[in-house]
Chain A
Amino acid sequence: MSGTLAWVPPGTWPSPDQVYDVTVVGAGLVGAAIARALAGYELSVAILDARDDVGDGTSKANTAILHTGFDATPGTLESRLVRRGYDLLSAYARECGIPVEPTGAVLVAWDDEQQAALPGLRAKASANGYQRTSLIDADEVYAMLPHLGPGVRAGLTVPDESVTCTWTTSLALATDAVRRGAHLLLGAEVLAVDVTGAPARDGDPHDAWTAIRTTRGSIRTRWLVNAAGLGSDHVDRMMGFDRFTITPRKGELLVFDKQSRPLARHIVLPVPSKAGKGVLISPTVYGNLMVGPTAQDIDDRTDTSTTEAGFAFLRDKLAALMPALQDEEITATYAGLRAATEHADYVVDVDANRRYAVAGGIRSTGLTACMAIAEHLIGLVQETGLLEMRERNDLPDAPAMPNLGEAFLRPYQDADRIAADPEYGHVICFCERVTAGEIRDALAATIPPTTLGGLRRRTRVMNGRCQGFFCGAQVRAMLDAAGRDRS
């Protein structure tokens, strides 16, 4: 079963007679984590995604913070899964080389109300099983973050909050799934699902299958797992439920030039208050500082454009939070959509009759929680007793991911690596110091990028301050050449 037809390139499609054991709809962080875990059993697994790349929806644009879960609502599924996910993903990151930079975070109180809220947040952290917070006074806050604007009242430190790379994480999980034999079917948007097409005959549910019609063709599956992110409510309705509605919440962010990085060495978190959640300042694992996000409920699930109002809001917040940062150049602006629902908690559920499982309403904490969501959901499936799950003992090693983290040795800095392969000494993208060797590797990887955006997320190429002024033409040529080679 392993690795016969792994990555399924565009243009090819599985045989209509094939019935997968499980099909996961959605190749974001959650879907990829579920598919990877399922592919650890003797099961045939397919992953469908409407987009042309893995992790290309809500997973690609978040604040990329690995959360301790200190501020979750105690007792919720989210609280439990974020806590568990933190440990699972931290361990997996070490295994694969996903960069994690332990910056720590400080919640900063700017007024009476926020200051008064800090002890409660500390108690909440404790109730969530996180005991390492400390209350600090204003002087201690400024000692940690000397460039904060005037008016800090007090702070609460959360030393284990870290920054990571959401792109590498979804790619690692999906790559792992594919190397374990899962079939990745991209550019296939689910149009309709037919659960009743082949009802269980003679009462044997193992014989039943569901037909999924997509924009690229149809496939059959015994189980369907819905991890469709922003589309998860649509898929849930296709399966006959009406239990949640996604209202995309747009979050805009400003990414500042790397030269600003010394202004904040820790994540600066807002204290939630009546006035709203506020914005954070965070180091990025790529060596920048980031400010955001905004929070705007919108209707259009594809609208990731930035707005004048969003920029004005962030600039305004920044003026109070960290005035010195206002003078720095902005490298990038982007907007991500969070899959918010009317429920306060994740929706993870299984329906044995329809052989269907859902992980919906997974908000930005889903980066941290994704592997725990997979573990929990598969546990629920197992409890139905309707899917025979035998663990495989022939699994490949976890993939070794290229390091995109600025805090760790990068190829351009590595004399031995360059000596062994001069392409790692040929810097193509000057701003992000991405070498020809890294671009070549990404284009030849298990899940190669088919778009410029995909190549950018895999290598950081063109993500820097010049946005392609210097290297854009050369990078496009390399991407096109690789596309020609594949076709």
Chain B
Amino acid sequence: MTGTFSQQAHVRVAIIGGGPSGLRAAAELAGLVDGEVLVIERESAAGGIPRHCAHTGFGIRDLGRSMSGPAYARRLTERAVRAGARVMTSSMVTGWAGERALEVTSPAGRMIVQADVVILATGARERPQPARLIPGARSAGVLTSGELQGLVHLDGRRFGGRAVVVGSELVSWSAVLTLREAGCRTVAMATQAEQREAYGLVGALGRLALRVPVLTSTRVTRVLGQQAVTGVEVEAIDSGERRIIDCEIVVFSADWIPDSELARAAGLRMDAMSKAPVVDTALRTSRPGVFAIGNLLHPVDTADIAALDGAAVVSHVMAFLGGSSMSSDSIDLIAQEPFRWIAPARLRMDARTPPRGRLLAWSDERRYLPTIVATQAGRVIGSVRSPWPCVPGRVFRIPVRVLSGADPAGGPITIGLR
């Protein structure tokens, strides 16, 4: 424990993070749980990343309609509050005071919140320039798309000039739209992938409507400028040829990493590749009574998928609160190339179904009509042909039925492609 405390509280369920997954979990649990469901949100308003995503497309899978990010954030917050959950904003969990006890700092004071269940829903963020080890200047004009959206959509800033966007995922196109709103022209998008990463339709619309040249198989090797950005140096990966693109803004988009500081501080078992806490198909971490949901687990899928994690965790939380016996009967799921990680990464034999019946995976290669293969002790226990391609830069979804032949005593299961 660090620091001093003026208050203590006990709640039935503490949810850390008031984004789509945390708010959805709160909305459902508040009506079921005997006791308080508390959402602890460190921003001044709940809603998470969608709060500063002005474009539409939110809510399709979970609410059955498409709406803008801010509208979606408001809707999720209202539902949680109306269901009886307490949403505490400008409140940050800064550490652990026990197995399920949290140190919380807020303008109302420094307190310890003791909970029967803790749900980690802390989301993910983009790696900034230094974390990508891109050298050059530390200049004004270097942003992540998260910061860019905050500047333009929350703070109403306008600036002209030219921008280069690093990445070509969905969020990268969102950054292009945001730049346009700010009066800034995107002169290039640069991606290391051999083909564009975003969903085909979005990419095609983006290229045509926004007229942004996408440089594939290209990496940014340097940011130029001393006080302010004057350009970026890019390298064509195949030829090694380098050139300079003049610009005043560089947006480092995507390259997501979970905000897993609290998970790691708790000493939870972590996935070395995704850097997320390891959960089983019931979304349980390695500490009893501590669950994890949302893009903290799978950096990153869309907001509605994150929200549906929040719906899926409810029955498992209720089972834990009801004192149902916790079988430790579970099997590790190991990602095999081209997969970098798989979440959940453990199959629990008494709760085999992950959210939406799908395991989520990240692929480093593009494959069309892939066949997913599960192997246990050298034996193929299942295979599923996917109609969807797997593409670097977006989450690939694997039907859990590929594991239907799992032997509880058969040891770890490897999941890969054929």
Q: Are B144 and A467 in contact (CB under 8 A)?
A: yes
Residue numbers in B under 8 Å from A412 (CB-CB): 3, 92, 94, 105, 110
A81 to B177, CA, bound (A): 57
Q: Does A308 contact B222, Cβ atoms closer than 8 Å?
A: yes
Report A-chain residues with C-beta under 8 Å of the C-beta of B272: 327
- Quick one: CB contact mask for B221-234 with A, threshold 8 Å, 1 for yes? 11000100000000
Whether B135 pairs with A426 at a CB distance below 8 angstroms is: no
Task: Give Cα distance in the complex from A412 to B275, angstroms.
Answer: 27
- CB closest chain-A residue, reference B5: A415
Query: Is B106 close to A, CB under 8 A?
Result: yes
Given A409-B3, A413-B105, A473-B154, A418:B130 Cβ within 8 A: no
B84 located at the interface, meaning its Cβ lies under 8 Å from any Cβ of chain A in the complex: no
Closest residue of chain A to B225 (Cβ to Cβ) is A305
Task: Answer whether residue A419 sits at the interface, using C-beta atoms and an 8 A cutoff.
Answer: yes
> Please, what's the 1-or-0 string for A303-337, where 1 marks a CB less than 8 Å from any CB in chain B?
11111101100000000000000010111111000
B106: A residues at CB distance < 8 A? 425-426
1/0 per residue, CB under 8 A from B, across A16-29: the answer is 00000000000000
Distance between Cα atoms of A187 and B69 in the complex (Å) = 43
* Contact bitstring A376-398, B, C-beta under 8 A = 1, else 0: 00000000000000000000000
B42 touches A430 (CB 8 A): yes
Is B129 an interface residue, CB under 8 A from the partner?
yes
Known: A423-B107, A467-B144, A476-B151. A307 touches B264 (CB 8 A): no
Q: Which residues of B sit under 8 angstroms from A467, Cβ to Cβ?
A: 128-131, 144
- A459-471 interface code vs B (CB 8 A; 1 in, 0 out): 0000001111110
Q: Report A317 CB to chain B, min CB distance, Å.
A: 15
Can you list 21 contacts pairing A with B, beta carbon distance less than 8 Å?
A259-B261, A302-B226, A304-B226, A305-B222, A306-B135, A306-B136, A311-B133, A329-B257, A334-B138, A412-B94, A412-B105, A412-B110, A414-B3, A415-B3, A418-B6, A430-B92, A433-B92, A467-B130, A472-B147, A473-B154, A477-B155
* A425 & B105 in contact (Cβ 8 Å cutoff): yes
Closest 3 pairs between A and B when the two form their complex, measured CB to CB: A413-B3, A473-B150, A467-B128
Q: Whole-angstrom distance between the alpha carbons of A460 and B251 in the complex?
A: 22
Which residues of B have CB within 8 Å of A477? 155
Rounded to whole angstroms, the CA-CA distance of A470 and B45 in the bound complex is: 13
CB <8 Å contact, A426 and B130:
no
How far does the Cβ of A323 sit from chain B's closest Cβ, in whole Å? 14
- CA–CA, A473 to B145, complex, Å? 11
Chain A residues 75-109 with CB under 8 Å of chain B are none
Is the CB of B4 closer than 8 A to any CB of chain A? yes
With A305-B137, A467-B128 already in contact, the answer to whether A472 and B150 are too (CB < 8 A) is: yes
Question: Which residues of chain B come closer than 8 Å to A334, judged between CB atoms?
Answer: 138
A-side contacts of B239, CB under 8 Å: none
A427 sits at the interface (CB 8 A)? yes
Are A476 and B4 within 8 A (Cβ)? Answer: no
Residue of B107, B125, B222 with most partner-chain A CB within 10 A: B107
Residues of A within 8 A of B108 (CB): 422, 425
Flag if B135 contacts A307 (CB, 8 Å).
Answer: yes
**A26 → B minimal CB distance (Å):** 20
A to B contact number (C-beta, < 8 Å): 137
Contacting residue for A332 out of B4, B125, B130, B135, CB 8 A: B130
Distance in angstroms between the alpha carbons of A411 and B136 in the assembled complex = 34
Q: A215: CB under 8 A from chain B?
A: no
Judge whether A473 and B133 touch: CB under 8 Å. Answer: no
Q: How far is the CA of A262 from the CA of B43 in the complex (A)?
A: 29
Q: Is the CB of B140 within 8 A of A305?
A: no
Residue of B nearest to A473 (CB): B150
Bound together, the chains give a CA A412 to CA B144 distance in angstroms of: 26
A413 touches B151 (CB 8 A): no
Q: Residue A263 at the B interface, CB < 8 A?
A: no
Q: Which of B4, B129, B130, B155 contacts A473 (CB 8 A)?
A: B155
For the A-B complex with A311-B135, A329-B131 known, give 4 more contacts whose Cβ atoms are closer than 8 Å: A259-B264, A415-B5, A422-B108, A467-B144
Contact digits for B349-364, partner A, Cβ 8 Å, 1 yes 0 no: 0000000000000000
Chain A residues near B126 (CB-CB < 8 A): 469
Within 8 A of B (CB), among A437-487: 452, 465-470, 472-474, 476-477
Residues 98-111 of chain B: 1 if any A CB is under 8 Å from the residue's CB, otherwise 0? 00000001111110
Q: Spell out A's residues near B (CB within 8 Å).
A: 255, 259, 302-308, 310-311, 327, 329-334, 409-410, 412-416, 418-419, 422-423, 425-427, 430, 433, 452, 465-470, 472-474, 476-477
Is B143 interfacial (CB 8 A cutoff)?
A: yes
Chain A CB within 8 A of B146 CB: yes
Within the complex, the shortest CB–CB distance from A475 to chain B, in Å, comes to 10
Which single member of B43, B109, B143, B154 contacts A418 (CB below 8 Å)? Answer: B109
Complex-state Cα separation, A27 to B151, whole angstroms:
33
Contacts of B4 in A (CB 8 A): 409, 413-416
Say how far A451's CB is from chain B's closest CB, in angstroms. 9
Whether A473 pairs with B147 at a CB distance below 8 angstroms is yes
A465 cross-chain contacts in B, Cβ below 8 A: 131
Residues of A within 8 A of B325 (CB): none
- B119-161 CB contact bits vs A (8 Å, 1 = yes)? 0000001111111010111101001101100110011010000
The answer to whether A427 and B261 have CB atoms under 8 Å apart is no
The distance in angstroms between the C-alpha atoms of A406 and B222, with both chains bound, is 32
CB contact under 8 A between A333 and B109, given known A327-B272, A472-B150, A476-B151: no
CA distance A421 to B233 in the complex (A): 47
CA distance A386 to B131 in the complex (A): 55
Q: Do B261 and A305 have beta carbons less than 8 Å apart?
A: no
Give CA–CA (A465, B264) in the complex, Å: 15
Does B327 interact with chain A (Cβ within 8 Å)?
no
Question: Do A469 and B131 have beta carbons less than 8 Å apart?
Answer: no
B2 at interface, CB cutoff 8 A: yes
Q: Is there a chain A Cβ closer than 8 Å to B90's Cβ?
A: yes
Closest to A412 in B: B105
Q: What A residues does B3 contact at CB under 8 A?
A: 409-410, 412-415
Chain A residue with the shortest CB-CB distance to B133: A311
A416 to B144, CA, bound (A): 36
In the complex, the chain B residue whose C-beta lies closest to that of A308 is B135
Minimum distance in angstroms from B195 CB to a CB of chain A: 26
What residue of chain A has the Cβ atom nearest to residue B223's Cβ?
A305
Inter-chain CA distance A427–B105, complex, in Å, is 8
Give 1 or 0 for each of B199-237: 1 = CB within 8 Å of chain A CB. Answer: 000000000000000000000011000100000000000
Cβ–Cβ < 8 Å partners of B264 in chain A: 259
Q: Which residues of A contact B147 (CB under 8 A)?
A: 468-470, 472-473
- Tell me the smallest distance from the CB of B47 to a CB of chain A, in Å: 13
Query: Are A415 and B110 also in contact (CB < 8 A) when A327-B272, A332-B130, A470-B125 are?
Result: yes
Which of A327, A331, A476 touches B155 (beta carbons < 8 Å)? A476
